[in-house]
Amino acid sequence: MFFVGRSVTGRTSRLSEVVDVSPYFQLIYCSRRPTSSDEIGAADVRDILAVAREDNARDDITGALLVDADCFAQLLEGPADKVEALFERIRLDPRHQDVVVLCRQTVVERVFPDWSMGYASPVESDEIDRTARVFANAFYAPGPAAAAEVRELIVSAVAQVQLW
């Protein structure tokens, strides 16, 4: 079971009910957590999520953050200018490194319409292994296939809704 977080709205995502003809912009990236002594810990992830949930709600951005011991992957979606402006801030954030974009695309519906920033982190060993494999592949061969794999992993992780 993945450890997951909820959105500020407190509603779970109902993917099958979402029909929206407005074009949105979606960006997926992965990055590495620092390995130095000032390594980002659980408290820092909480700080990131607190800011993300407030700022993303303001900017009509939704998405989810996947975190394992070594890496981040994040799916951001919303108005293109807002998503790109946010990504520019994230890209320069010293709390991670080796930021690699996996996809930038226009989509007709959001994957996480009710999540200002969902959160998932693998807990069980099979999930930890799968997540590590997906991250390794994403860094080795970034592109649409890796983006699809990361997207699927994030969706399946936060769909196992055990809210906190």
| C-beta closer to ligand FMN: residue 16 or 46 | 46
Separation in Å, CA 24 to CA 61, 98, 116? 10, 26, 15
158 belongs to the binding site for ligand FMN (CB under 6 A): no
DSSP run (H or E) holding 60 = none
Distance in angstroms between the alpha carbons of the first and the last residue of the chain: 14
CA distance 122 to 109: 26
Sign of CA dihedral 163, 8, 43, 134: positive
- Pick the binder of ligand FMN from 7, 26, 74, 131 (CB under 6 A): 74
What is the 3-state composition of the chain as percent helix, strand, coil, each rounded to the nearest 5? 40, 25, 35
- Pick the binder of ligand FMN from 28, 103, 117, 120 (CB under 6 A): 117
- Pick the binder of ligand FMN from 3, 18, 79, 95 (CB under 6 A): 95
- Pick the binder of ligand FMN from 20, 89, 108, 141 (CB under 6 A): 89
Residues 23-52 that bind ligand FMN (CB under 6 A): 48, 51-52
Locate tokens 């906190």: which residue? 164
Give the range of 1-9, 84-92, 122-130, 132-140 binding ligand FMN by CB under 6 A. 84-92
CA distance 136 to 133: 5
138 belongs to the binding site for ligand FMN (CB under 6 A): no
72 belongs to the binding site for ligand FMN (CB under 6 A): yes
How many chain residues bind ligand FMN (CB under 6 A)? 15
Residues forming contacts to ligand FMN in the complex (CB under 6 A) are 48, 51-52, 55-56, 65, 72, 74, 86, 89-90, 93, 95-96, 117
